[in-house]
Amino acid sequence: MAERLPMIFLFALHLLVSGVFSMSILTIENKCNHTVWPVIFSWNVDSQVSPTGFALRRGEARAIQAPSSWYGLISGRTLCSTDSTGKFSCATGDCESGKIECPGSYSWAPVTYVYFRIDNGGINSYTISVEYGYNLPVMVVPSQRSRTCISAGCDVELNKTCPKDLMIMSRGTPVACSSTCMESNTPETCCTRDFKSKQNCKPTVYTQNFERACPLAHIYAYDDNNSTVTCLNSTDYVITFCPSSNPNKTK
């Protein structure tokens, strides 16, 4: 048995190098002047990422291993606390688990999302999305750059310029900006029923404002601004909340 171990080790090493066990390192860092509680959600049952939620104080970073074929999202929660019964909740991005981690199902919230697909047919891809709303500036920087593999994000402060009827407030301060779909839930604003096509689902004043501010982000359901970034499947990423060029001012 002992004589077989080196061969098994070499075989495993070959698989790792060849990409069968390929994974990407996602380093999530917080440059906001307040704590952020990231959420990591996995859509595919066979390829999960752990932990699903944690706290990042100002200046902290945490590396997460995203396995091959992982398809999921990353977002940030703000203004979180635990009440007298031990229930954990957040003013923005709350995953409604009552805990810091976010296991199980996920409900869309008016926050800034980053979608990832790892090693999907030999490539990685990611998309910054403000389709459901916005709460924090986010920037993604890949470790390997190319013509198609670029840094992208929505790194401007949109909470204070949000239309008043879409603004989410906490203690008199704007902390998030909802989408018209999240607020009104009509077929026209959510691109459903008769509006479920590129021809019928048109940009609105809201989506046009977001597109001007964040041209590399996915804005609405039938947005065609080529917001998906594609990279080699060996690429790692740094996901930064509140990039230093534009720190978020939420307390």
Q: What is the span of the domain harbouring residue 172? A: 19-241
In-domain check, residue 51? yes
With H, G, I as helix, E, B as strand and everything else as coil, classify residue 207.
helix
Question: Cis bond leading into 51, ω under 30°?
Answer: yes
6 within a domain of the structure (yes/no)? no
Confidence of residue 21 (pLDDT cuts 50, 70, 90): low
Query: In whole angstroms, how far apart are CA 29 and each of 72, 89, 146, 239?
Result: 18, 21, 23, 6
Residue 228 inside a domain? The answer is yes
CATH of the domain at 202: 2.60.110.10
Q: Phi then psi for 114, rounded to 5 degrees? A: -125, 120
Q: What is the pLDDT of residue 11?
A: 38
Would you state the structure tokens that stand for residue 241, as one six-digit string? 């909340």
* 31 lies in some domain: yes
Q: Is residue 86 situated within a structural domain?
A: yes
Residue 73 has pLDDT above 90, yes or no: yes
What is the predicted pLDDT for the residue at 46? 81
Query: What letters, b where the CB count within 10 A reaches 16 and e where it falls short, cover 195-209?
Result: beeeeebeebebbeb
pLDDT of residue 95: 92
Average pLDDT, the chain: 87
5 in any annotated domain: no
Does residue 171 lie within any of the structural domains? yes
Amino acid in the structure at residue 144: Q
Sequence-ordered list of residues with C-beta below 8 angstroms from that of 109, at least 6 positions apart, any chain: 75, 92, 93, 94, 95, 132, 133
Q: Which residues contact 182 (CB under 8 A, 6 or more apart)?
A: 108, 110, 132, 133
At residue 18 the predicted structure's pLDDT band, cuts being 50, 70 and 90, is: very low
- Give the count of domains, the chain: 1
Q: pTM (2 decimals)?
A: 0.87
- Does the pLDDT value for residue 177 go beyond 70? yes
Q: Quick check: is 249 in a domain? A: no
